[in-house]
C-alpha cells in the first residue's frame, strides 16, 4: 500500500474526492510553459524568421506537443495515475516502469539543478549586495563564477521550492495562480516599455535581423523545447476529472505559453535587432527583472522536482516492493539538486541531461499505442478503476516494449547528431510504430488476439 502521508498518491490512483478544479491544473500547465527559456526560444525564432514564419513554426511545433500531451493527459485523467505508474499498465510492466521512473527522476532533478543555477546567477546580478557578501570567486576551475551571492540565492530558491513541493499539488497550484499572472503581467509591461517607439505594422512586416532560419529548424526548436515536459503531463493531469478537461488544459496552455510568449519575444527581437532580449527585459526595471527571474524559475522548477519525486517513488517501489514517503524523496532530491547547483557541478551535466531527454519520448509513443490502440490492459484498468483501486496484477516486464524503447532512443540520438528532424519526436514515433507492428506480428504468430507476458500480483 502507498504511505498514509502520501498526500499526492504517488503509488495509487487519485480518488474522485481528491480531483482538483480545472483552473488549478490549468495554471500549473501554463506556468510550466511560460518561462524565461520560452522567451529565449521566441527571440531566437524572431532573430532568424519573419513574424508570420515564426507564427507558423510555433503552430506546427505546438500541435505536435498538443497531441502528445492530450493523449497522455487523457489517459492520466481517466486512470488517476502519474506518468511512471501509468507506464506499468501501458506496455512496460513493473520492471519497465522502474527503468522509466529512474530516467525521469534523474532527468528532472538534473534540470531542477540547472534552473536553480540560472536563478542564482540571475539574482546575484540583479540584486547585488557586494558589501555584505562580496563577489569574489570561491575557487578556480570547476567552481569558477561561484560567489557568496550566487550561493545565497541558489540555496534560498532550492530549499524554498523543495518545501513547496513537499506540500503537494495544491500548494504548487496555489503558487502558480499567483506567479503565472504576475510573470505574464511583468513580461508584458517590460515588452511595452521596449516596444513603445515601434509600430505594430513595422514589427509584423520587417525582415528578420539575423541569419535566416529554416522553417524546419524552427519547428524542431519549438517541439524539442518542451517534449520532455509534455510527456510528464500525466503527473498533474491525473488530478483532472476527464479527458475533455485534459484537452482544454493542453490547448489553452499551448496558446498562452507557446504562442503568447513566443510571438511576443519575436516582436521584441525584431524591435531590438537581437536575440538577447531576456537581458534587455531584465534591465528595463530592477523590480521587473527580479519578478521575471523569480516567477519563471519557481513555477517551472517545482514541476521538475515534483515529477522527479514521482519517478523515483515508482522506481524504488518496483525494485524493492516498498512504498516510501514521497515527502522524504522530495527532500532528498531537492537537497541533492540544490547542492549540485550551489557548487556549480550541475552545469557539466547538461549534455547528459539532453541525452536523457531523448530517452524519455519513446516511452510516450509506446504508452499511447498500448493504451489507445492495442488496449491490452484496458479491461483490467476499467474494472479496478470502478473500485478506486489499482489492478490486482501487473506484467513483470514486456521485452518487446524495452527493445522498441531502445530502438527509438537510438534513432533519436542518430537524428540528433545528423540534425535531421526533431530527435525527440523521431524517437517517439519510431518507438510507437515499431511497438505496434511487432506486437501485432507476435500476436499473429502466437495466434492470440492480445499478447500478454508473465504477470505478478505484487502490484506494489
The residue among 313, 24, 69, 312 whose CA lies nearest residue 172 is: 24
Q: How many CA atoms lie within 13 A of 452 on its CB side?
A: 15
pLDDT of residue 3: 45
pLDDT of residue 296: 66
Which stretches of the chain score pLDDT less than 50? Answer: 1-5, 131-143
| Overall residue count recorded for the chain in this entry | 460
pLDDT of residue 404: 95
pLDDT of residue 75: 95
The residue written with cell numbers 563577489 in the block is 135
pLDDT of residue 290: 65
Strand partners, 395: 455
* Region 17-352: CATH code: 1.10.4160.10
pLDDT of residue 141: 40
pTM for this structure? 0.83
Across all residues in the chain, what is the average pLDDT?
83
Question: Tens of pLDDT along 262-306?
Answer: 888 888 888 888 777 666 665 555 666 666 666 666 777 888 888
- The span from the CA of 274 to the CA of 329, in Å, is 42
Strand partners, 456: 394
Identify whether the C-beta of residue 94 lies closer than 8 Å to the C-beta of residue 396: yes
pLDDT of residue 140: 45
Amino acid at each position: 500500500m502507498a504511505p498514509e502521508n502520501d498526500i499526492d498518491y504517488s503509488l495509487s490512483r487519485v480518488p474522485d474526492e481528491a480531483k482538483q478544479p480545472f483552473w488549478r491544473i490549468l495554471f500549473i500547465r501554463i506556468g510550466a510553459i511560460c518561462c524565461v527559456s520560452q522567451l529565449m526560444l521566441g527571440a531566437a525564432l524572431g532573430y532568424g524568421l519573419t513574424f508570420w514564419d515564426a507564427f507558423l513554426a510555433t503552430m506546427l511545433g505546438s500541435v505536435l506537443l498538443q497531441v502528445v500531451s492530450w493523449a497522455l493527459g487523457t489517459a492520466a485523467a481517466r486512470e488517476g495515475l502519474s506518468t511512471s505508474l501509468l507506464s506499468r499498465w501501458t506496455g512496460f510492466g513493473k520492471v519497465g516502469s522502474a527503468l522509466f521512473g529512474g530516467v525521469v527522476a534523474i532527468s528532472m532533478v538534473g534540470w531542477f539543478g540547472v534552473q536553480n543555477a540560472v536563478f542564482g546567477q540571475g539574482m546575484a546580478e540583479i540584486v547585488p549586495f557586494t558589501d555584505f557578501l562580496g563577489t569574489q570567486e570561491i575557487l578556480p576551475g570547476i567552481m569558477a563564477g561561484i560567489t557568496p551571492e550566487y550561493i545565497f540565492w541558489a540555496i534560498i530558491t532550492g530549499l524554498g521550492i523543495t518545501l513547496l513541493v513537499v506540500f503537494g499539488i495544491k500548494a504548487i497550484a496555489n503558487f502558480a495562480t499567483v506567479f503565472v499572472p504576475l510573470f505574464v503581467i511583468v513580461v508584458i509591461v517590460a515588452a511595452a516599455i521596449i516596444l513603445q517607439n515601434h509600430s505594430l505594422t513595422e514589427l509584423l512586416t520587417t525582415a528578420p535581423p539575423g541569419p535566416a532560419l529554416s522553417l524546419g529548424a524552427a519547428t524542431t526548436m519549438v517541439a524539442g523545447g518542451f517534449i520532455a515536459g509534455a510527456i510528464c503531463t500525466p503527473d498533474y493531469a491525473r488530478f483532472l476529472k476527464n479527458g475533455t478537461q485534459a484537452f482544454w488544459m493542453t490547448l489553452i496552455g499551448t496558446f498562452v505559453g507557446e504562442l503568447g510568449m513566443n510571438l511576443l519575444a519575436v516582436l521584441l527581437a525584431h524591435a531590438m535587432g537581437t536575440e538577447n532580449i531576456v537581458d534587455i527585459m531584465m534591465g528595463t526595471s530592477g523590480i521587473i527583472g527580479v519578478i521575471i527571474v523569480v516567477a519563471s524559475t519557481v513555477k517551472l522548477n517545482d514541476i521538475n522536482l515534483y515529477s522527479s519525486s514521482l519517478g523515483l517513488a515508482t522506481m524504488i517501489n518496483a525494485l524493492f516492493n516498498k512504498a516510501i514517503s514521497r515527502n522524504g524523496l522530495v527532500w532528498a532530491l531537492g537537497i541533492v539538486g540544490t547542492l549540485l547547483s550551489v557548487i556549480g557541478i550541475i552545469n557539466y551535466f547538461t549534455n547528459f541531461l539532453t541525452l536523457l531527454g531523448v530517452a524519455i519520448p519513446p516511452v510516450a509513443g509506446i504508452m499511447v499505442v498500448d493504451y489507445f490502440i492495442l488496449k491490452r490492459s484496458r479491461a483490467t484498468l476499467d474494472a479496478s478503476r470502478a473500485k478506486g483501486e489499482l489492478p490486482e496484477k501487473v506484467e513483470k516486464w514486456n521485452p518487446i516494449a524495452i527493445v522498441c524503447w531502445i530502438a527509438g532512443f537510438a534513432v533519436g540520438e542518430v537524428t540528433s547528431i545528423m540534425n535531421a528532424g526533431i530527435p525527440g519526436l523521431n524517437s517517439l514515433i519510431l518507438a510507437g510504430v515499431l511497438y505496434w507492428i511487432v506486437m501485432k506480428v507476435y500476436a499473429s504468430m502466437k495466434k492470440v488476439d492480445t499478447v500478454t507476458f508473465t504477470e505478478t500480483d505484487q502490484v506494489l
